[in-house]
A and B are shown apart, each in its own frame.
Chain A
Amino acid sequence: MHIAEGYLPPLHAVAWGAASAPFVVHGVRALTREVRANPESTLLLGASGAFTFVLSALKLPSVTGSCSHPTGTGLGAILFRPPIMAVLGTITLLFQALLLAHGGLTTLGANVFSMAIAGPWAGFGTYWLLRRSGVPLMVAVFFGAFVADLSTYCVTSVQLALAFPDPSSGFLGALAKFGGIFAVTQIPLAVSEGLLTVLVMRLLTQSSKAELTRLGVAR
Chain B
Amino acid sequence: MSRNAKINTLLLLVVAALAVLPLALGLGDGKEEPFAGSDAQAERAITELEPDYKPWFSPLYEPPSGEIESALFALQAAIGAGVLAYYFGLRRGRRQGEARAVAAREAGVQADRDTARADESHGSEA
A: residues with CB less than 8 A from B are: 1-7, 9-10, 43-44, 46-47, 49-68, 95-102, 104-106, 156, 160, 164-167, 174, 177-178, 181-182, 185-186, 188-189, 191-192, 195-196, 198-200, 202-203, 206-208
**Which of B68-76, B102-110, B116-124 is the contact stretch?**
B68-76
B14 touches A100 (CB 8 A): no
Q: Does B125 belong to the interface (CB within 8 Å)?
A: no
Q: Does B90 belong to the interface (CB within 8 Å)?
A: yes
Bound-state CA distance A88–B79 (Å) is 14
Contacts of B37 in A (CB 8 A): 59, 66-68
Known contacts: A63-B27, A207-B95, A208-B91. The answer to whether A53 contacts B79 by CB under 8 A is: yes
Q: Does B29 belong to the interface (CB within 8 Å)?
A: yes
Bound-state CA distance A95–B45 (Å) is 26
B77 touches A174 (CB 8 A): no
Known contacts: A44-B87, A105-B60. The answer to whether A164 contacts B22 by CB under 8 A is: no
Q: How many of B's residues come within 8 Å of A, CB to CB?
A: 56
Known contacts: A3-B42, A4-B43, A66-B35. The answer to whether A57 contacts B80 by CB under 8 A is: yes
B83 touches A188 (CB 8 A): no
A65 touches B60 (CB 8 A): no
B23 touches A195 (CB 8 A): no
B: residues with CB less than 8 A from A are: 4, 7-8, 11-12, 14-15, 18-19, 22-23, 27-29, 31, 34-39, 41-43, 45-46, 49-50, 53, 55-63, 69, 72-74, 76-77, 79-84, 87-88, 90-92, 95
The total of Cβ contacts below 8 Å across the A-B interface reads 179
B76 touches A96 (CB 8 A): yes
Q: Which 7 A-B pairs have the closest CB atoms?
A: A6-B55, A53-B80, A54-B80, A50-B83, A65-B28, A101-B59, A207-B91
B80 touches A43 (CB 8 A): no
Contacts of B83 in A (CB 8 A): 46-47, 49-50, 53
